[in-house]
Structure 1
Amino acid sequence: MDPCGFMDMGEVGELGEVEQFGPDPYGGPGSCRAGVVPPGIAPKSFGLAEITVDLEREAPDAGTEPLTEDGLVYADEMYDGSSLGCGRLIRLDIPEARDTSGRSIDGAFMSVVAEGFGRSPDGGNDLARNCAIADRLTIGVVDLIRGEQSPQRADADIAAPLGDRTSCDLFEHMPQDYRVDDWVPTSSPYLCDFDVAGPGIGTNDGSVRALIDTRMDEEAIDPGPLEEEMAPTRHPVDDHPVLILTKDDVCRARMPVGDVIDGNRSGFDLDEHDANMGRVRTVIELEGTCAAVQPLLPAVVASFG
C-alpha cells in the first residue's frame, strides 16, 4: 500500500502551509510525513508540526479496548498525547484493506500521528489539539479502508525505493559456503532476523538483522549523531558505497539505495535541520557480529543494489 496516499492533503492543508511531503526519514518505506507550519508559527523558531502515517506498526497490547465500536481504531500508546504527539492505530488485517503488491497484512496495524500543532507564539502548548487532529484524519483513513479504496504503491506519486520488497530477499544471493540456519518471521516485510552459518562464524555468532529503512540523505552513507563513536569507515562493495560502523565485535553496515527523494516544497525558508529532514534516501542495513555481517555484503548489493 501507499502510505502517502492515506493522507488527505486537503485536510492537511487546512492545518497550515505544507512545506514538506514525502517519506519519513526515520520511518522506513512504509511511512509518509507532512511537515506543516501552523498559522502564526515561525518555523525557524518552533520547527515544523508533523503528520505521519506508518504502515508498519505493531498491534496494541492484548486486552486494549478499541476507540470505535467496529474495533478498527485504538489509541497509540507510543504517542499518547504527550509532547511526542498523539496517534491512532488502525487495523489493516481485514478483507477491505487489501494490498495488491502481495504484502502480508495478517495482524498488521498502521498509525496516524499528529505532533506540534498545539504550540502558540506565547509559548503555550495545547497537547489535546494533536489528538483532535489525529482523530479527524483517522476518519478519512478508515473511510478509505472500509470503501475498499486503500491507496496502492503502484499508483503512488511519491514512493521510497524497496517499498515493495522484503529484506529477506537477500537469502536468494547467499555467498557460496554460507547458509541460513534459522530465521524468525516478523510482522514487517522490511525486517528480517536470521542466523547464518559459514566459514569464520563461531557458534552463537551468526545472528543477523537485515532492515530496509529510510534516513536523511546526509546520514545514508555518513554516521548519524549517535553513531560517531562506532568507528565509521566506508568500503566500496562491487562499486556500491557501504558505511561500516563497528563497536567491539558488532558491525552495522548501511548501503543507500536509489535516488534522494526531496520532499521540500519550493518557496519556503527552512532552517538547515528541517531542510535535511525533507531529503530522504532508502537504505538497507545489516547488523550482527562482524564475522557474520562482512561476508553478506555482496549479497546485499546483488539483492538491492
Structure 2
Amino acid sequence: MVVPAGDRQKLDVAEQVRSVDPCGFFDQARISTYGQISTLGPSMSSIGSCEVGFLQADEGRRYYLSHVIVDMDSYPPNDDDPSKQIAGETVTIDGVRSSDGDCAYKVPLRFPVSAAESSQNPDIIEVPTLSYASVRAALITPAALGCELVENTVTNMVTMFRENRIPRREALVDVPLPQRSPCELMQHLPSKYTVDKFDAETQPYDCKFFLKSGSEIFGNDLVSVGFRLHDADRAMATFGSFESAQIAGKPVLIDRNTAVGEPQCAIRFPAGAVVDGYRPGTPATESTKSAARSQPMVALRAQCRVTDDLAPIAMELFGANK
C-alpha cells in the first residue's frame, strides 16, 4: 500500500511516540524528597502513559498516594487555549484537567528531523507534524507542590527533546504492546480484502481504515484497531453487552450489536503479561496494589462478518493470551 508523504509523516511521528519511555521524564530523586515512591508504571487511562505515585500523609498521619502523570497520547490543544512558557517552550494549559485545581499542561513533542527529511523545494516552508503529551498532577497537597513537580517534569521533557536525550522504552518499565503499531494489521489482511481508505493520524495507539471486499453486496467497511489498558483483576470480566467467548481457543470479550442494520462487533482480548507498577515493600493498601496492576488489551471493531475474518489474525499478530 502506497502512503502519501503527508500521511507517512504522521505515521513516522506516531512511531517515534511509541518509542519514548514516558517514565524517563520524572526526576525520581526530587519527587522522593516529598514522599516515598510507591508506584511507577502506566496509568490506567492510557497505554502510552506513565504515572509516578508517592506517599503523602494527611493531618491524621494516614498515607495516601499522590501522582504525577505523563501521557504521550494527548489530543492537540485548541487555538484559543491559554499558554505559558516553560524552559523556553510554549506549552498549553489543559483547561479540562486543570479544572479541579491540579496543574496540567500539553507539551509539543519536537522530535529531531534529519536533513534528508526536509523539503527539497526551498520555496516551500514545511510545518512539521506535531504530537502532544500531557503532564499533570493528581491529589498532590498543596496544589503548589503539584504545579512545581509538573513544571519540573515539563522542563525535563523539553530539555531532553531539545538535547536529543529522549528516553526510549526498555529502560524502566517493560510494556511490549505499546511499542507496536495497531496499523500492522493492514499488512496481514486476507486476500479478499484491500484497503480502500486509510485515516493516517499521529495517535500512536489507534488505527482506522476502510476495507473493500470486492463483493457487490457490501460497500466499504470501517475497521478500528486500538491498544488499551484495563484493570488486571477485571480485564476479562463481562460488562454491559460484552460477553465472554473464545476465538481460536483463546479468551475474548465480544459485543455483537444487532439492533440496527448489519451486525457490528466489538472484540477485546488481552495481549502480553500484566504490568505491575507497585514497588514491593512500600506501604500500600490492597486497593492501591490492585490499581497498579494493568493488563494490555487489543480492541477491534467492524462489521461482524469482517471481525470474523480479522480477529484470529489480529490475535496471532499481537500475541493474544491463552
| TM-score > 0.5, shorter chain as reference | yes
The separation in 2 between residues aligned to 1:32 and 1:216, in whole angstroms, is 15
Amino acid across the alignment from 1:62: D
2:198 is aligned to: 183
2:53 is aligned to: 35
The separation in 2 between residues aligned to 1:20 and 1:137, in whole angstroms, is 17
Deviations 1:101-155 (A, max 9, x none): xxxx83111121110012xxxxxxx5454333322322222222222211012x4
Q: Does 1:17 align with 2:28?
A: no
Contact 1:96–1:147 under 8 Å retained in 2? no
Amino acid across the alignment from 1:198: S
**Alpha-carbon distance, 1:76 to partner:** 1.6
The separation in 2 between residues aligned to 1:198 and 1:158, in whole angstroms, is 41
Segments of structure 2 that go 5 or more residues without pairing to the other structure are: 1-19, 115-127
Contact 1:22–1:278 under 8 Å retained in 2? yes
Matches within 5 A, 1:158-237: 158-198=173-213, 203=218, 206-223=221-238, 228-237=239-248
Return closer, same or farther for 1:146/1:231 CA change in 2, 3 Å cut-off. closer
TM-score w.r.t. length of structure 2 = 0.77
The separation in 1 between residues aligned to 2:219 and 2:103, in whole angstroms, is 41
Q: Identity of aligned pairs, percent?
A: 24
**Count of aligned residue pairs for this structure pair:** 282
The separation in 2 between residues aligned to 1:46 and 1:202, in whole angstroms, is 62
The separation in 2 between residues aligned to 1:148 and 1:96, in whole angstroms, is 11
SS at match of 1:134: helix
- 1:274 pairs with 277, 288, 294, which one? 288
Matches within 5 A, 1:151-162: 151-153=167-169, 155-162=170-177
Contact 1:264–1:275 under 8 Å retained in 2? yes
**Cα RMSD for the two superposed structures:** 2.8
SS at match of 1:258: coil
Structure with bigger gyration radius? 2
The separation in 1 between residues aligned to 2:59 and 2:198, in whole angstroms, is 49
Q: Does 1:110 align with 2:136?
A: no
Contact 2:212–2:219 under 8 Å retained in 1? no
Contact 2:68–2:149 under 8 Å retained in 1? no
The separation in 2 between residues aligned to 1:278 and 1:189, in whole angstroms, is 23
Amino acid across the alignment from 1:271: T
SS at match of 2:271: strand
2:310 is aligned to: 296
TM-score w.r.t. length of structure 1 = 0.81
Segments of structure 1 that go 5 or more residues without pairing to the other structure are: 98-104, 119-125
